[in-house]
Amino acid sequence: MSGPASSSPPAVSVHGLERAFKGGIKAVDGLDLEVREGEVYGFLGPNGAGKTTTVRILVTLLKPTAGEARVAGFDVVSQADAVRRNIGVALQEAAIDPLMTGRELLRMQGALHGMKGAQARSRAEELLDRVGLTDAGGRRVGQYSGGMRRRLDLAMALVHRPKVLFLDEPTTGLDPTSRSALWREVRSLNDDGTTVFLTTQYLEEAEQLADRVGIIAGGSLVAEGTPAELKAHVGEPTLHVDLAPESDVAAARVALSAVGPLVDCQDDARVAIRAARGKATVPLAIRALDEAGIAVESVEVESPTLDDVFAAVTGSTLEGATQGASADQAEVPA
């Protein structure tokens, strides 16, 4: 979030990255991106886009077939050990022993990172507390709910206080409550200075969490920017006016066209214009209609969503997309 010291390298930098698999599939195909220190970067794309393959390369589990990638300033191929010391990883299909308790797993993770017994024990307690699993710490993880498992995965990725955290679809399959709990956790980690690289197929998740979003399709980036920039790129907000029954629609169109360019509308009792100034257009529209003696039922301003962005750059919609135009509705008293 806040500006990094200018001397620090990007948390992640990727140039011309490729990964071909046998059979010729290029899961990653000429990827370029850069994540600044302290950012939450949302890597958004549908199933099969190349998200997991990219993450596996960045966390040194898979070698690229071309191009290069650096994490925390280190090359993922020639300096893999240094990369590993600086990162935490929660992968989609993490295999953990269901018979062990959350507390045992966290202590073991600490030991794997070279902590002494007492240190590993106190770190385990700290992390159980951090992700809200203190009470469940003594239970076998085989009995954990999906949300609890994801929170434990997160805690395990944090044991050695990584600078850069990789989360591969951290909330896929979770219910809304568990999802928001995990979002809170990611925000708080980021507030504490951790850079987060997060893959998702949920537009809402990218919108809620990410400072910047890269949209990946077919192994390369098709758009990148802050959620606001991406949406502004697709188009301006639209202002819709619902007219009172039996209003003079033609007169309403004339009056509103003085406020902004008319937009086609399916509905006969509706008139729409482009609203470059967003909500600030509402009073102007109401005054124009009022002066023309036209009764209005309601006015709303609809902004483009990340879904519109996705459709515009890929020509399709996201499977995991939640509908939900961000509409600012204003009821107008008759």
Ligand X SMILES: Nc1ncnc2c1ncn2[C@@H]1O[C@H](COP(=O)(O)OP(=O)(O)O)[C@@H](O)[C@H]1O
Give the bridge partners for 18, in sequence order: 29, 66
Q: Binding residue for ligand X (CB under 6 A) from 12, 17, 27, 33?
A: 27
Minimum Å gap between C-beta 218 and ligand X is: 9
Quote the DSSP letter at residue 140: B
Based on the shown chain and the rule CB under 6 A, indicate whether residue 48 belongs to the binding site for ligand X: yes
Q: Can you spell out the DSSP letters for 213-280?
A: EEEEETTEEEEEE-HHHHHHHH---EEEEEEPTT--HHHHHHHHHTTS-EE--SSTTEEEEE-TTGGG
Q: Is 53 in the site for ligand X (CB under 6 A)?
A: yes
Cα angle: 91, vertex 96, 102; to 5 degrees: 105
Two tokens at 113? 């990172």
DSSP 142: G
CB of 137 to ligand X, least distance (A): 31
For residue 319, the minimal CB distance to ligand X (Å) is 10
Which of 99, 180, 169, 170 lies closest to 141, judged by CA? 99
Tell me if 51 contacts ligand X by CB under 6 A: yes
Closest contact distance (angstroms) between CB of 223 and ligand X is 16
Q: Taken in order 82, 170, 210, 62, is the CA torsion positive or negative? A: positive
| C-alpha 311 chain-centroid distance | 16
Q: Which is nearer to ligand X, 51 or 212 (CB)?
A: 51
Q: Which of residues 259-288 bind Mg ion (CB under 5 A)?
A: none
Q: What is the dihedral of CA 61, 185, 142, 114, to 10 degrees?
A: 50
Contact between 200 and ligand X by CB under 6 A: the answer reads no
Q: Which does 48 bind (CB under 5 to 8 A by kind): ligand X, Mg ion, none?
A: ligand X
Look-up of token digits 């500006």: 3
Are the beta carbons of 165 and 15 closer than 8 angstroms? no
Q: Which does 102 bind (CB under 5 to 8 A by kind): Mg ion, ligand X, none?
A: none
- 47 interacts with ligand X by CB under 6 A: yes
What's the closest the beta carbon of residue 43 comes to Mg ion, in angstroms? 10
Instruction: In angstroms, give the least distance from the CB of 309 to ligand X.
Output: 18
Distance CA 37, CA 44 (A): 19
- In Å, what is the CA distance from 140 to each residue of 32, 100, 137, 145, 151? 42, 5, 8, 11, 14
Q: Which stretch binds Mg ion (CB under 5 A): 48-56, 121-129, 176-184, 283-291?
A: 48-56
Interaction of residue 173 with ligand X, rule CB under 6 A: no
Among ligand X, Mg ion, none, partner that 142 touches (CB below 5 to 8 angstroms by kind)? none
Candidates 46-54, 80-88, 125-133, 246-254; binding stretch for ligand X (CB under 6 A): 46-54
**Minimum Å distance from CB 90 to ligand X?**
14
Q: Which residue is nearest to Mg ion (CB)?
A: 52
Binding flag, residue 52, Mg ion (CB under 5 A): yes
271, 243 Cβ separation under 8 angstroms = yes
Which residue among 10, 38, 42, 50 contacts ligand X (CB under 6 A)?
50
Q: Binding string to Mg ion for residues 220 to 259, with x set by CB under 5 A, is what?
A: ----------------------------------------
Site for Mg ion, rule CB under 5 A: 51-52
Residues that bind ligand X (CB under 6 A): 21, 25, 27, 45, 47-53
